[in-house]
Amino acid sequence: MMNKKTKIVVLDGYCVNSGDLSWEKFETLGDLVVYDNTPYDLIPQRAKDADVIITNKCNLDSNIIDKLPSLKYIGELATGYNNIDIQYARKKGITVTNVPAYSTSSVVQTIIGFIISLSLNLPHHFERVKKGDWVTCENFCFYEQGMVEISGKTLGIIGFGNIGMNLKDVANAFGMKVVVFSNSRHKKEDGTFNYVSMDDLFSTSDFIALTCPLTNKNKGFVNKDKLSLMKKSAFLINTARGPLVNEEDLAYALNTGLIKGAAVDVLTDEPPKASNPLLNAKNILITPHLAWATYEARSRLLNAAYENLKAFLNGHNLNVIN
Q: Residue 211's domain is classified under what CATH number? A: 3.40.50.720
Q: Is the CA virtual torsion 178, 179, 185, 188 positive or negative?
A: positive
Residue 83 domain-assigned?
A: yes
The answer to whether residues 32 and 56 belong to one domain is yes
Q: Phi and psi at residue 319, in whole multiples of 5°?
A: 60, 35
Judge if 211 and 308 occupy the same domain: no
Task: Return phi, psi of residue 212, to 5°.
Answer: -100, 155
Question: Would 1 be classed as within a structural domain?
Answer: no
CA atoms of 255 and 46, how far apart (whole Å):
45
Residues found in the chain = 322
* Active-site choice (76, 241, 247, 300): 241
* Residue 208 lies inside a defined structural domain of this protein: yes
Contact 194, 180 (CB under 8 A): yes
d(CA 92, CA 75): 15
Q: Are 237 and 263 in contact (CB under 8 A)?
A: yes
pLDDT of residue 82: 86
Do residues 86 and 116 share a domain?
no
Q: Is 241 a catalytic residue?
A: yes
Q: Where are the alpha helices (DSSP H) in the chain?
A: 24-27, 43-46, 62-65, 86-91, 104-120, 122-130, 162-173, 198-204, 224-227, 247-255, 295-313
Residue 298: active-site member: no
Exactly one of 144, 149, 189, 270 is catalytic; which is it?
A: 270
Which residue type is seen at 273? K
25 and 146 share a domain? no
229 within some domain: yes
Q: Which of 76, 247, 289, 298 is catalytic?
A: 289
**Helix or strand run (H / E) with residue 180:** strand 177-181
Q: How many domains does the chain have?
A: 2
Residues 43 and 21 placed together within one structural domain of the fold: yes
Q: Please tell me whether residues 179 and 209 are part of one structural domain.
A: yes
In a domain, 152, yes or no: yes
Give 105: exposed, middle or buried? Use CB within 10 Å, 0-12, 13-18, 19+. middle
pTM: 0.92
pLDDT for 80: 86
Examine residue 271 and say whether the peptide bond preceding it is cis (omega within 30 degrees of 0): yes
Q: What angle do CA 36, 266, 232 make, to 5 degrees?
A: 165
Domain interval for residue 115? 104-286
In a structure prediction context, what are the per-residue pLDDT tens digits for the chain, which is 322 residues long?
555 589 999 999 999 999 999 999 999 999 999 999 999 999 999 999 999 999 999 999 999 999 999 999 999 999 989 899 999 999 999 999 999 999 999 999 999 999 999 999 999 999 999 999 999 999 999 999 999 999 999 999 999 999 999 999 999 999 999 999 999 998 999 999 999 999 999 999 999 999 999 998 999 999 999 999 999 999 999 999 999 999 999 999 999 999 999 999 999 999 999 999 999 999 999 999 999 999 999 999 999 999 999 999 999 999 999 8
Query: Does residue 111 lie within any of the structural domains?
Result: yes
Q: Is residue 65 part of a domain?
A: yes
